[in-house]
Amino acid sequence: MAGESALVTTAADAGLVVVAGLCLLCGYRVIRGPTIPDRVVALDAIATNVIAIAVLFALKTGRGLFVTVSLVLAIIGFLSTVVVAKFVTEGDIIVRRE
Amino acid sequence: MTSLPPPGALLIVALIAVGCFFLSVGTLGLLRLPNVYNRMHATSKPTTLGTASIFLASFVAFGPGGAGLPSLVGILFLFLTVPTGAHMISRAAQRIGVPFMGGVTWPTREDDPDAGTGGDPDGEGGRATGGKNDDSG
């Protein structure tokens, strides 16, 4: 692990820079998106990029804890996507049946 | 020239490069494609593949014990949830009336050869025509 750490750290650094730039480019679609589903799709792409950023950070620092962080981010991203889709459709999230 | 890097490190670097390539393709499609459905098509699949590749790099780095197993769980979770989320957003977009491109229409019962024959696909066909009635009415 000691011999390969320099190369892996450099690659993870480069990947972090690239994916952070991609998040900024997705932010353009969040701001300029003509419709609300465009913004939701762009925010979903940003969430997936942030998952990749967490895994790359785990690779960079060598701490496996951040892989679990990326799992939690994946759960939150999926939940927010589903909730926003339901809110856009029905105007309400929790539907009471009475 | 001190020593060649070990093959594990080279594999990790290659997987990170593939992941960054797929994430770049997804973001390019998100920026350039003309419609919300096309953008969703562009983001969901390449973004899933890129993040899965980076998860695989983490699995190679951390090994099967420790943090390698959550990486595989993350790949499984992404492959389950990203298509579901994209499906829900596309249904929401169609419900609130985002128009399709060109001559693309919602599939009706006449376009589906299985809709009139079996009993089990009938329920799905009924739901699809319900969506079509929402679109046209």
Per-residue model confidence as pLDDT tens digits over B12-57: 999 999 999 999 999 999 998 888 888 888 889 999 999 999 999 9
Better-scored residue on pLDDT, B118 or B2: B2
What pLDDT, on the 0 to 100 scale, is given for residue B66? 79
Question: Which chain A residues are Cβ-neighbours of B71 within 8 angstroms?
Answer: 55, 67
Q: Is A14 helix (H, G, I), strand (E, B) or coil?
A: helix
Positions of chain A with pLDDT lower than 70, given as ranges: 1-4, 93, 95-98
Task: Give the predicted TM-score (pTM) of the model.
Answer: 0.80
User: What ipTM describes this predicted complex?
Assistant: 0.87
Is A40 inside any structural domain? yes
Reference B85, options A70, A50, A80, A94; nearest CA is A80
Query: Which residues span the domain enclosing B121?
Result: 105-137
A55/B57 touch (CB, cutoff 8 Å), yes or no = yes
- Whether B96 and B62 share a structural domain: yes
B92/A86 touch (CB, cutoff 8 Å), yes or no = yes
A8/B13 touch (CB, cutoff 8 Å), yes or no = yes
Helix extents (H) in chain B? 7-32, 36-62, 68-95, 120-136
Q: How many domains does chain B have?
A: 2
Compute the distance between CA of residue A66 and CA of residue A56 in angstroms, rounded to an integer.
9
* CA atoms A76, A78, A80, A82: torsion sign: negative
Mutate to test the interface with A, among B2, B12, B23, B53 (most CBs of A within 10 A): B23
- Whether B51 and B27 share a structural domain: yes
- Whether B69 and B112 share a structural domain: no
